[in-house]
Structure 1
C-alpha cells in the first residue's frame, strides 16, 4: 500500500516487457581491489550496522536471470529455487550475470581470510531464493505473466522479501501477484529503471511495491540509474557498485537494479530485527526513516528520501508518509480558518437539515421508481401474451444473447461471460487468453511451476 496515492504508469507496448534495469557493462574488477572501491559499504555504514543485524533468518527471493550458487561470495547462501525455463537448474544457472550480481549485493559474504575479499552484501547472513524468469537466449524482454508466476512461486516457497530488479508491462496477473505478496507480508522491492528506459514499468509502478531509484557517489540522482518519477519511494546508491558475476568473476555495475538490491538487503536487516512488522509497518519504516533530499518532502528524484539504514534499524518512522497528502493541500488563511471554526456549530446544524431532507427525497424517489417498474412489467406481460415468443439469436462472434436486442441496441453478452482482461491487448490465439508457449522473448516457452 502506498502511503500516498500515485498514478500508475502506462506502457505503450503493453503486450511486451522490458528488462528495465540491466546495466552490468561496467569494467571487470578484481576481488580485493573491488572491495576497496565498494563506496556504498561506507555510505550505508554497514561495518557498524552489521553489529545490529545481518539478515539472520530472512530469505530474499531474487526474481531475475538466475544465481550462480557456486560463486565463492555466495556459497552456502543460495537455496534451491526454480527456473521457469529449465526445471533442472533450480535457478542456479545464470544466463546473463544480472541475477548473480543482484544476489551478491543483497547477501554476498565475501571470501578469503575473514571474508575480506570479494563482495560483501547488505545482509550477508540472509538466504537467497533464486527465481529465473528469463529464457536461455537472454533477450531483454520478459513476459509479465512469467514474472507474476515467479513472484507467486517465491511467496509460496518461503520468501520474506522479493527483489525484482526488472521491469515489465502493466498486467493484471502481475498486479495481482504483487498485491498477494503484500497481503502475505512479503515486500516486493523493485527498480524504477534507468535513464534510457524513460518510463516506469511494473512492478515498480504498483502501489504495493517499494520503488527504488539510484544515486551517485555524491548522493545526487544518478545520470544513468534514475528516472524522475512520482512512483519513486526512496533512493539508494546505484553508480559503480562492486558486484559478483558467474564463474567467480566481478564487475562494477551501474543501474537502479543495484539500488533495488541494496534496499532489498536493507529490508532483510530490518525484518530480521523486527520480525513481526506487517507489510504496511515495514513499508512505512523504510520510507519514513529516509534522509530527505532534493525538494522538501516527497519529490520525483528521491521519493521520500535517501535510504538511511541506521535510522531504519534504530529510529522510528516520522509520519511524513501519512502527512504527505496534507502537505499537498493549499494553505488556508488564518482569519478564514478562525471564522470557519466559530461558525462550525451553525454550519453543522445546516448540514443536518440538508441531509435529512435529502434522505426524504431519496426515499420518495425509490418508492416512485418501484411503482413505475411494477407497472411496466405488468404491461410487458400483457403485451407478450398476445405476441409470438421469439428464440435467442447469435450475437457477434457467435456469442448467444439471452434475448434479441431492441432496434438500435447493441448485443448484450451472455450473463456470466468472462469480460476479458481490461487494459491488456489480446496476446493469445485469436485474441484469447495468453498462452505460455507464445513467449515474446523468443526463448523456449516458460512453464508455470508444478505444471
Structure 2
C-alpha cells in the first residue's frame, strides 16, 4: 500500500502544479477539436480510497471510481498528451481520457415575438392540461392551440392522427440541455429540475433546452401557443451546460445517473461530439441496461462522420429533413442515423415567454422523444429496445430501400408507431 501511495503522490504531484481550472470560450456550433478539453477523466483501479484523499487538490468525483482532473490553462496540445501518457503509464488507472466537449446541434434561431404570454390561470377560456384526456378522441385531432398551424412538422410525422389513439401519459423524459424556462405558460406545471451538473443557475438563459422541451411536451389544447408531441408527458430538466452553452462528457455522465434516480424512462440529448469517449459509452450502456431509452441528435456537421452519443449501441440517432422530405444540408450522415424528422423552421417555445423558429437536428430529435413517450403510453410494459424497434419499423422509408446513412430507417411516423404499439398492450 505504501508503494501505491507513493506512486499516487508522484503522479499527482507531477500534475498538481498545473491544477488551474480553465474555461475556454464556447464555440457552440463549430466542430470539436482533438485538443478541445480542459480536464481529464480517470477511472481508478484499487485506489479509489486514495483518490478520495486527493480530491482536495481539485479532483472531482463524477461517479464510483471515476474522477475529473483539471488541466492548466497554459497546457498546449502537446503537454496535454504528455499528461495523459504519464497517467496511463502510472498503472493506477483503468481509463484516462479527455473530458471532451459536446456541442448544441442548432443551426439558427428566429425570434418570433417578445410580448408576454398570459398564464393559463388568467384566462377563463383555457383548458387545464390535466384534463386533456377526459374526452373521446376522433381519428385525427386538431388541438385548439393558437399557433398549431405554424407547426407543419407535426403533420409531417402524422402526430394529429396519432393523437386520435393516444395523447400520452405522465411518463418522465429527462432533457439534458441548457435548462428549461419553467415559467413559460406552455411548459407551466410540466417541468421538474434535477441537480445542476455544471455549477451554474438551473434556469435556461440560452433557450435551447426550452425549445427542445416544448417540442416534446408543451401544454396542449390550452388555447395558446403550441402543441407538444406527447401532451401529458413530464420533463425532467437536467442542465448540463454552462451559460455559454458548453457541456462536457463528465456533465452527461452525472446527469444520466440523476435521470435514472428520478425515474426518467427516456433521456433526450440534443448535443453531440465527434470524439469517441469510453467514459460516455460506458455511461450510455449503463443507462440503457437500466431500461432507459436514449434519443440523441445525428449532428449538424453536414458531412459523413460518426457523432456521439448517437453512434453508441441502443441510442436512436436522429437526422433532419426539410418540408419535401429531403435530407437537410447540415444533417450529419453515417451509420449512427436511425431516423429522420423535420428539422428546419421548427416553431416552439423559448425563454422569456416567447416562441422561436429554430433549425437543426436538435429540433428533429425531440419529435422522436415525444413519439417514444406516446408509444410507451399505449404499452407501458415494453422494453426500451422494443420501443426503439417499433419506431424504426414504423418509419416511412426514404432514400435507397432499407436503412441507409442519410435517412436511417426513414421518416418518423408517429401514427404507425402507436398503432403498432397497440399489439403489445
Q: Which residue does the alignment assign to 1:446? A: none
Q: Which residue does the alignment assign to 1:22? A: 106
- Aligned CA RMSD, in angstroms, stands at 2.4
Instruction: State the secondary structure of the residue aligned to 2:254.
Output: helix
CA distance in 2, matches of 1:313, 1:175: 30
Q: Which residue does the alignment assign to 1:55? A: 168
Q: 2:400 aligns with which of 282, 295, 299?
A: 295
Say if 2:257 is the partner of 1:155: no
Matches within 5 A, 1:412-431: none
Instruction: State the secondary structure of the residue aligned to 2:294.
Output: strand
Q: Which residue does the alignment assign to 2:291? A: 185
CA distance in 2, matches of 1:211, 1:239: 17
CA distance in 1, matches of 2:263, 2:350: 25
Instruction: State the secondary structure of the residue aligned to 2:263.
Output: coil
Say if 2:209 is the partner of 1:99: yes
State the shift of 1:281 in Å.
1.2
Contact 1:183 1:279 in 2 (8 A): no
Matches within 5 A, 1:367-446: none
For structure 2, the residue ranges without an aligned partner over 5 or more in a row are 1-31, 37-97, 118-144
CA distance in 1, matches of 2:237, 2:318: 20
Contact 1:133 1:142 in 2 (8 A): yes
Change (3 A) 1:21 1:61: same
Q: Which residue does the alignment assign to 1:171? A: 277
1:231-255 Cα deviation digits (max 9, x unpaired): 1011111111101111101110110
CA distance in 2, matches of 1:143, 1:195: 18
For structure 1, the residue ranges without an aligned partner over 5 or more in a row are 1-9, 318-451
Q: Which residue does the alignment assign to 2:158? A: 45
Which stretch shifts more, 288-297 or 52-61?
52-61
Contact 1:167 1:193 in 2 (8 A): yes
State the shift of 1:182 in Å.
1.0
Say if 2:177 is the partner of 1:71: no
State the shift of 1:155 in Å.
1.4
TM-score scaled by length of structure 1? 0.62
State the shift of 1:13 in Å.
4.7
Q: 1:125 aligns with which of 232, 245, 259?
A: 232
The structure that is strand-richer by fraction is: 2
CA distance in 2, matches of 1:105, 1:144: 25
Change (3 A) 1:95 1:170: farther
Contact 2:198 2:251 in 1 (8 A): no
